[in-house]
Amino acid sequence: MKRVTTSQHRNPGFWPRFGRRLCLLMLLLTAPALFAQPVTISIPTDLSGQPGDTVEVPVSLDLDGNSVAALGAALKATNGLLSYVDYTQGPIVPGAIFSVSSPAPDSVRIAFADFGGGPITQNGVLATLRFEIDPTA
C-alpha cells in the first residue's frame, strides 16, 4: 500500500496556496486589533446639579502620543438618575463621521471613523454630552 503525502496529492500546489491565502485573510481580519494602541477616555468626577437641571458632561480623550482612526465607546449612567438629551461634537474631531446615539435613556454610544477627514491627533474634548437629572432625584 502506497502512502500519499501532501506533496504527492493530485494538486500539490493547492494546500500551500490555500494556506497562504488563509493566513493573509486572518492577518487582514486581525490587523486592527494587532495595531490598536491604548487611549484613555474620561469624564469629570466632580459634576453636580439640581433635580430637573441639565448637566453637561465633557468626554475627554487622552491619546498618549497615538492617533485614532476609529473609536467606539459606551457610557452608562448609574441609578437611572440621568437621561440623555443631546451632544456637541468636540473640537478635536476632524471630520463629519462622528455619531452619538442613545440605546436607552441612561446609556450613550460614541462612534468615530476616519473616512477622509483624518484621524484624531490631539488630546482634548471628544464630545460634550447633556443629561437631564431626574426631577425626583
- 13-47 pLDDT per residue, tens: 444 444 444 434 343 343 444 456 788 999 998 98
> Residue 28's domain spans which residues?
6-35
DSSP string, 41-89: EE--S-----TT-EEEEEEEEE-TT--BSEEEEEEE-STT-EEEEEEEE
In a domain, 58, yes or no: yes
pTM of the predicted protein model? 0.71
Same domain, yes or no, for 15 and 81? no
In a domain, 14, yes or no: yes
In a domain, 1, yes or no: no
Looking at residue 94, its pLDDT comes to 87
CA gyration radius, the chain? 24
Looking at residue 97, its pLDDT comes to 83
In a domain, 97, yes or no: yes
- Number of domains comprising the chain: 2
Residues of the chain with pLDDT under 50: 1-34
C-alpha span between 117 and 20 (Å, rounded): 34
CA 55 from centroid of its chain's CA atoms = 24
Looking at residue 39, its pLDDT comes to 87
The residues facing 57 across adjacent strands are: 129
Looking at residue 106, its pLDDT comes to 87
Same domain, yes or no, for 71 and 99? yes
Looking at residue 53, its pLDDT comes to 94
In a domain, 19, yes or no: yes
Looking at residue 15, its pLDDT comes to 40
